[in-house]
Amino acid sequence: MKLLRYGAAGQEKPGLLDAQGVLRDLSGIIPDVAGKALTSGSLAKIKALDPQTLPKVDGAPRIGACVGDVRNFIAVGLNFADHAAETGAEIPKEPILFNKAPNCIVGPNDDVIIPKGSKKTDWEVELAIVIGDGGSYIPEDKAFAAIAGFAVCNDVSEREFQIERGGQWAKGKGCPTFGPLGPWLVTTDEVKDVQNLAMWLEVDGERVQNGSSKTMIFGCAYLVHYISQFMRLDPGDVITTGTPPGVGLGFKPPRFLKGGEVVKLGIEGLGEQQQHFKAYQG
């Protein structure tokens, strides 16, 4: 299934994209694509429905983030071997974890605001895991049973804040609008091989990232297992899993976003995003 949320920001309704690409309203079935609605039991009930019995949504409403009320937005750093190489970093022996502020999540096509004082705003196409049943101390061989599905994420990053301002990476990762998510959540049964998906990103029509999830150092199942050793993963939590090469920091000289650019990105089978980057006006 492809689950999504549509409508004005802060007033999104739950929806389903049927096999013909028609948007169907799910608000009579679940209150939101969030929390307990993403557990395996709830998803099974939605899957058992005949989509043709759900109300059709007319027009072309705004598409919001594919998951609502996200409580934990966890990110993994330097998790692609070819991206680690372009930054000159050593391959991590264990996953590098940091938090993105949950309230930085926006719709996949919403504007991204370059923060006040930014000099080094960067892009990162990433594969996001959306937790379903979740739990603590999840065995790796049972990790996929704890996952609701997958989505596209742009892990927008301010490199000066992240690297040069001291402290943890969170400084450069959680600015408002730095977490476009969606367009939809694709449930695990529709993803044949999550560790072999093409990933790409363009800036003003120039392809700058062109990679694959097959170069991830730590795969999705291992990440869910690993993270669950340190915190409980709850339904609706999001884990964004790292980026392939081609980020602005990796160019020689580095290239960063100043405002006015259009960034388009996508992952095979998971959809596409497009954002206008705009300079902070305060």
The domain 73-279 is placed in CATH, from the list 3.90.850.10, 3.40.50.1110, 3.10.105.10, 3.30.540.10, at 3.90.850.10
Average pLDDT value for residue range 38-53: 97
Which DSSP string do the residues of 4-15 spell out, in sequence order? EEESSTT--EEE
pLDDT at 246 over 90: yes
Q: 251-269: per-residue pLDDT in tens?
A: 999 999 999 999 999 999 9
pLDDT for the residue numbered 282:
81
pLDDT for the residue numbered 273:
98
Domain ranges of the chain: 2-53, 73-279
Beta carbons of 76 and 96 less than 8 angstroms apart: yes
pLDDT for the residue numbered 281:
92
pLDDT at 85 over 90: no
Residue 110 and residue 203: Cα distance in Å, rounded? 16
Residue 121 and residue 140: Cα distance in Å, rounded? 35
Mean pLDDT of the chain: 96
pLDDT for the residue numbered 59:
94
Q: 136-194: per-residue pLDDT in tens?
A: 999 999 999 999 999 999 999 999 999 889 877 889 999 999 999 999 999 999 999 99
- Residue from 181, 281, 183 nearest 241 by CA: 181
Tell me how crowded residue 136 is: count the other CB atoms within 10 A of its CB.
11
Average pLDDT value for residue range 97-115: 97
pLDDT for the residue numbered 219:
98
Token pair in block for residue 188? 């695990």
Question: Which runs of consecutive H residues, i.e. helices, occur in the chain?
Answer: 40-47, 81-87, 159, 220-227
Burial grade of 20 (CB within 10 A; 0-12, 13-18, 19 or more) = exposed
pLDDT at 74 over 90: yes
pLDDT at 81 over 90: no
Banded pLDDT at 37 (limits 50, 70, 90): very high
pLDDT for the residue numbered 89:
73
3-state SS track over 123-137: CCEEEEEEECCCECC
Tell me if the pTM is above 0.75: yes
- DSSP state at residue 161: I
Average pLDDT value for residue range 49-65: 97
